[in-house]
Structure 1
Amino acid sequence: MSGQPSSRELYAFNEGKTFVSNIAVRTDGTLLLSTFENGRLYSLDPRADTPKVELVAEFPGANAISSVVANSPDTFTVVGGDHRPYRYELGSMKVWTVFFPGPGQPAVVKTVAEVPDTEMLNGIDSLPSQPHVVLGADSVKGRIFRINTITGAVDVAFSDPALEQDTAIPIGVNGIRVFGPHLYFANSAKGYFGRVPIGPDGSKTGDIEIIARSPETVSQSTSYDDFSVAQPAGGNPTAYITAHTNKVYSIDLVTGEQKLFFGGGDSTVLKRPTSVAVANDGKSIFVTTAGFEVMGGPAKGQVVEIPI
């Protein structure tokens, strides 16, 4: 669309069943992609002349991996389970670590925790002061779980009505990111983008603040999904948040100003975007998609790079 940045599709799955749910960037610039439908973790080198995915790991008992996040340069946490429409089978949610021992060596997968008391762990992020501790969004009951990937301990860090689902769609708190002293979050059903102050252990230390709201009436075709935060040189920190069916919004974390950054209208570049990761150099974002031309159709998930 006129006035929008250019974009480059790095990769699109072609078998018609791969919904890319989440993305993380390794220190070497390689992307990690978590998927629904087949519950696999893939890697993709965006610098290759013709980027191709490589299978990193599969996870026993999981047909969907909702999120992936770094604990260290070589260790990542993923969560997933037995996925059903808008839910996971109760008792199926598990947490794994994926360790990359070195070039040419296969990743080592370890089950570190089970989370039986939830039907969904969605977005996750690690705590800066304790990167082996991961916060996970319960999209059904509006809770933030706290998971220690070393000890396997799991508890609820906090809950809040602003994180709960609503009547529009059955997904409440979705993407989460720790940035500065706050946990930022998107609530898909309520159309909220907000933040809450947290302590070093992820506990809530103040009230939730709503920074922006979806500019459209919330539905399955317009809802916020996941996001990431960029810190431009000389500028305010900015969240780049995906919204169905084809949009990425930018939200200034200082002023709260929200703009349509990419897509919208009749654009077909992004086919139901799901998540965002900021490139290591801070000059672009990587956007993943479910790859649906229409809801319920074949899932041919994409990875698209957009300069910021």
Structure 2
Amino acid sequence: MHSWPVFLLQLLLVHGLPQADNAAPVRLLYEYPVGTWIENIAVRSNGDLLLTVLNVPHLDQLSPYKANATPETIHSFPNALSVFGIAEIAPDVFAMAVGNFTLTGGVQPGSFSIWSVSFTMHDTMEAHKIADPPQATFLNGLCSLPGIGSPKDFLVGDIKQGLIYYVDTSTGDYGVAINNNFTAAVSDPVFGTAGVNGMHVHDGDLFFTNTGQALFAKMHIHTNGTPAGEPTIVARVLNSSMEFDDFAIKDNDAYLVTGSGNSIERIGLEGTSKGRIVAGSLNSTQFAEPTSCAFGRTEADRHILYVVTAGGLATPVDGDVTVGAQVLAVDTRLWLS
């Protein structure tokens, strides 16, 4: 018989036994009102969390260290309804995709722009537009490239077109960098059509999810983001209830949010081992439609995986349950031991 920590027992009483190898303690940092969708997350070097909001054009900031902390909207983007992917492209400089999306009307092609937000030494914030790509239909995943410049150029994926653009930070120029069978969009029950979604570069390889094709893949790339090898599949979803969205990488593992699967799955980057659910479960609201995750960056929280959710707005839990979008802190030391 297991000897469960008291905190973990409390979690299990509330949420039920998760379908996971190790039940990691989960702490709710903040729950937004029902109807809010948090799309993505980035972690600043000082530990603060940057949150992109899909139902309003807001960039929010939340300190995970303060008791009863409340997110602060630090920028509202003009002529837009939604904020999507975000990535750090220089120290305390973040690029993000902005456009128009509603749950009732879907996405508005041609509404997208790419912005950067930078923080100064005194923690004031400046925002400016990098590019207006008129041919973009649904910009979502975004990741910086491992170049030597600062700010770095980056990649941004179009989930509807199933391709990845390269963006030159200094000039705003952009063009298609990657377009292959594994990034391609296919029919999807939630988004109509969906292709490449979450993206991160690790050790010269671009790792990416394809939501419509239900796969996690990798491809060696050049420093400008163009292919330097053929893409290969790292893993496919464990079952049809899941849709890979965004993910975080730590050491030799990726931690993927499963969207409609309401869980976190750990997958080895080498692709030789089967993925494992390490937190959450299909019928639990503990992670109600997770959309993205990121590890802490300070000595105090490098083992904490911060997870954001859509609250089940696109795929309600058990078919009809929605909750407020959540920001959660997951202690991963049980997983990593």
1:249 matches 2:273 = no
Contact 1:211 1:256 (C-alpha < 8 Å) held by counterparts: no
Contact 1:87 1:120 in 2 (8 A): no
Aligned to 2:195: 172
TM-superposed CA distance for 1:296, in Å, is 8.5
Give the 3 Å change call, closer, same or farther, for CA 123–299 of structure 1 in structure 2: farther
Cα distance in 2 for residues equivalent to 1:208 and 1:176: 13
Counterpart amino acid of residue 249 in structure 1: E
Which of 212, 218, 228 in structure 2 is aligned with 1:205? Answer: 228
User: Relative to 1, partners in 2 of residues 1:26 and 1:104: Cα closer, same or farther, differing over 3 Å?
Assistant: closer
Equivalent residue runs for 1:109-258 within 5 Å: 109-129=127-147, 130=149, 131-169=151-189, 170-217=193-240, 222-231=242-251, 237-245=252-260, 246-254=262-270, 255-258=272-275
Range with greater deviation from structure 2 (271-280 or 289-298): 289-298
Query: What does 1:1-308 correspond to in 2, within 5 Å?
Result: 1=17, 3-14=22-33, 16-85=34-103, 88-103=107-122, 105=124, 107-129=125-147, 130=149, 131-169=151-189, 170-217=193-240, 222-231=242-251, 237-245=252-260, 246-254=262-270, 255-280=272-297, 281=299, 282-292=302-312, 294=316, 300-308=324-332
Q: Is the 8 A contact 1:87 1:119 kept in 2?
A: no
How much does 1:194 deviate? Answer: 0.7
With structure 2 as the length reference, what TM-score do the two structures score?
A: 0.84
TM-score by length of 1: 0.91
Cα–Cα, structure 1 residues 104 and 213, in superposed 2: closer, same or farther, change >3 Å?
closer
Q: Give the letter aligned to residue 12 of structure 1.
A: E
Q: Which amino acid in the other structure matches residue 257 of structure 2?
A: T
- Whole-angstrom distance in 1 between the partners of 2:258 and 2:312: 14
Listed as ranges, the gaps of 5+ residues in structure 1 are: 232-236
Shifted more, 192-201 versus 297-306: the winner is 297-306
The one-letter code matched in structure 2 to 1:47 is Y
Shift of 1:164: 1.3
Distance 1:123 1:135, change over 3 A: same
Would the alpha carbon gap of residues 191 and 132 (structure 1) be closer, same or farther in structure 2, given more than 3 Å must change?
same
Q: Which amino acid aligns with 2:194?
A: I
Query: Take 2:45 and 2:288, find their aligned partners in 1: how far apart are those partners?
Result: 28
- Do the aligned residues in 1 keep the contact of 2:87 with 2:96 (CA within 8 Å)? yes
| Greater Cα shift, 85-94 or 125-134 | 85-94
Code of the residue aligned with 2:232 in structure 1: it is E
| TM superposition outliers: structure 1 runs of 4+ over 4 Å | 84-87, 295-299
- 1:234 maps to what in 2? none
Q: In 2, are the aligned partners of 1:19 and 1:299 still within 8 Å (CA)?
A: no
Residue 182 of structure 2 aligns to a residue whose secondary structure is helix
Counterpart secondary structure, 1:116: coil
Work out whether residues 79 and 95 of structure 1, in 8 Å CA contact, stay in contact via their aligned partners in 2: yes
Residue 284 of structure 1: CA displacement?
A: 1.5
Alpha-carbon distance between aligned partners in 2 of 1:296 and 1:126, rounded to the nearest angstrom:
37
The structure with the largest strand share of the pair is: 1
Given that 2:165 and 2:174 are in contact with CA atoms closer than 8 Å, whether structure 1 keeps it comes out as yes
C-alpha offsets along residues 55-86 of structure 1, whole Å, 9 cap, x if unaligned?
Answer: 11011111111111111222111111112459
Aligned length: 298
Higher Cα radius of gyration: 2
Q: Distance in 2 between matches of 1:268 and 1:213?
A: 24
Shift of 1:87: 5.2
Cα distance change on mapping 1:55 and 1:84 into 2, 3 Å: closer
- Structure (1/2) with the larger helix percentage: 2
What secondary structure sits across from 1:203 in the alignment?
Answer: coil
Q: 1 CA distance for matches of 2:221 and 2:295?
A: 23
Distance across 2 between alignment mates of 1:249 and 1:104: 35
Percent identity of the aligned residues? 29
Could you tell me how far apart the structure 2 residues matched to 1:81 and 1:60 are? 10
SS at match of 1:157: strand
Letter of the 1:260 partner, please give it.
Answer: I
